Amino acid sequence: MADVLKKYNKDGWMLVFESDYGGCLTTRTVQGIFHDALRKTGIKKEATCHSLRHSFATHLLESGTDICYIQELLGHNNVATTQIYTKVTNYGLKNIKSPL
């Protein structure tokens, strides 16, 4: 995505989405949009924008993606940071067959 933005964005801004006024969306605006979407879909669970990132990593991990790939996708310098996401679920552990 960064390559596409660099290619087509001639004025140097790296915006993915613009505000109604042509500038950057603020963190507060994005959070408001996210909470409105949760409300409209009837999701009652408390969630934040960071929950999406966390869910992305967790689903990759649960589907068997190597943690080093997840580390790269999340942009973490240290795999220990990525391993924080492994504490969320024991799903994978339940499905491991003992070699003994």
**Confidence band, pLDDT 50/70/90 cuts, at residue 72:** very high
Average pLDDT value for residue range 6-21: 70
59 shares a domain with 86: yes
Note whether residue 52 is domain-resident: yes
CB-count exposure of residue 35 (10 Å: 0-12, 13-18, 19+): middle
Question: Do residues 20 and 33 both lie within one domain?
Answer: yes
Number of domains in the chain: 2
Task: Give the pLDDT confidence score for residue 68 in this predicted structure.
Answer: 94
Do 6 and 40 sit in the same domain of this protein?
yes
User: Does some domain include residue 97?
Assistant: no
User: H/E element holding 54?
Assistant: helix 49-62
Claim to verify: residue 38 and residue 58 sit in the same structural domain: no
Host domain of residue 33: 1-44
Residue 64 and residue 37 in one domain: no
Global pTM reads 0.65
Q: Judge whether 68 and 37 are in contact, CB under 8 Å.
A: no
